[in-house]
Structure 1
Amino acid sequence: MDLSSNLTRRPLCVNGCGFYGSEETKNMCSNCYNHFLKTQLIDKTTKALDRLSRLDTKPSNPSITPSSDTLFEDSGSNATNTSRLRNRCKNCSKKVGLMGFECRCGDLFCAKHRYATEHACPFDYKKFDREILIKENQIIKGDKLPERI
């Protein structure tokens, strides 16, 4: 009887996930509390990085340059978009993960489109290989004077 009365006193998680919370975890379940701690840590580090970057970069003419807040927001959104697109094939947008093939043209492809003929690669392989041959195989000419032989 004491056990059932103890369960009814425990509050549900404040995030509404359906599990029981406790006072040590601010009335959250363990999963929600761990997520809460991670987001708090991320917020603290981003604030510290913003403060450091603002101290390092002082605009010479503030009326010409945009505000530093908009610079950080734009760079963050571009970074997340490029990282998300970077894990997909350039042709078919298939997720490639760690098994992607990076071509000499700089794009990432799946196993099907990894060959240059499959993705219409703009990289000039002949010119690249000829330049390597020119660097590695220098011209050797014999002496024109037969007395030196």
Structure 2
Amino acid sequence: MNANETEALLCTGGCGLYGTRKNNNLCSLFYKKSVLQHSPAFRLEPETERSQFCSPTSSPVPVKEEPVGKRRCDVCKRKVGVLGFKCRCGHMFCGSHRYPEEHSCPFDYKQSGRLALATQLPLNRADKLQRF
């Protein structure tokens, strides 16, 4: 491929995404629609459906990227890197604070276990005995 073919150009459909020269300066969504409109034999989806990401009437919306923060223990603020432990309460902890007793975990493990057993085990009840 040449450098011109992989050059990033804004889509001529006005959606704000990037297109390529290979796709007539269209993004992949608009290119797919144009191919489907020109040849009815390749029609895969009805025309009534509209893509929420790429419509000609929508104004281009800039994509906000969240900054990647360093992963730290919620108790001691130590960097945990890839060895951090994610608790069921949704927080990240180091090796010494990973246990629920060490970080005062608000998650109810007993209730969670009871619900898991209730869904996994069938309810077995014997019929009542008839007395003579």
TM-score interval (norm. to shorter):
0.5 to 0.7
Divergent runs of 4+, >6 A: none
What is the match of residue 109 of structure 1? 93
Q: Which structure 1 residue ranges, 5 or more long, are not aligned?
A: 1-43
Output the CA distance in 2 between the equivalents of 1:145 and 1:117.
Answer: 47
Shift, 1:145, TM fit:
5.9
Question: Structure 1's 142 and 119: CA in aligned 2 closer, same or farther, altered over 3 A?
Answer: same
TM-score of the two chains, using structure 1 as the length reference: 0.47
For 2:100, what is the secondary structure of its paired residue? coil
With CA pairs under 8 Å and 6+ residues apart, which has the higher RCO, 1 or 2?
2
Unaligned 5+ runs, structure 2: 1-6, 19-26, 28-52
Tell me, in whole angstroms, the C-alpha distance in 2 between the residues paired with 1:48 and 1:110: 44
Residue number in structure 1 paired with 2:24: none
The one-letter amino acid of 1:84's match is G
Where does residue 11 of structure 1 map in the other structure?
none
Q: 1 CA distance for matches of 2:75 and 2:16?
A: 41
- Aligned pairs (5 A) from 1:1-149: 51-52=16-17, 56=54, 58-59=57-58, 68-69=61-62, 72=63, 75-76=64-65, 79-80=66-67, 83-85=68-70, 87-144=71-128
Larger Rg: 1
Q: Aligned AA for 1:143?
A: D
TM-score computed with the length of structure 2 as normaliser? 0.52
Alignment size in residue pairs: 87
Supply the RMSD in Å over aligned alpha carbons: 3.1
For residues 129 and 84 of structure 1, do their structure 2 counterparts lie closer, same or farther at Cα, with a shift above 3 Å needed? same
SS at match of 1:112: helix
What is the CA deviation profile of residues 20-42 of structure 1, one whole-angstrom value per residue up to 9, with x for unaligned ones? xxxxxxxxxxxxxxxxxxxxxxx
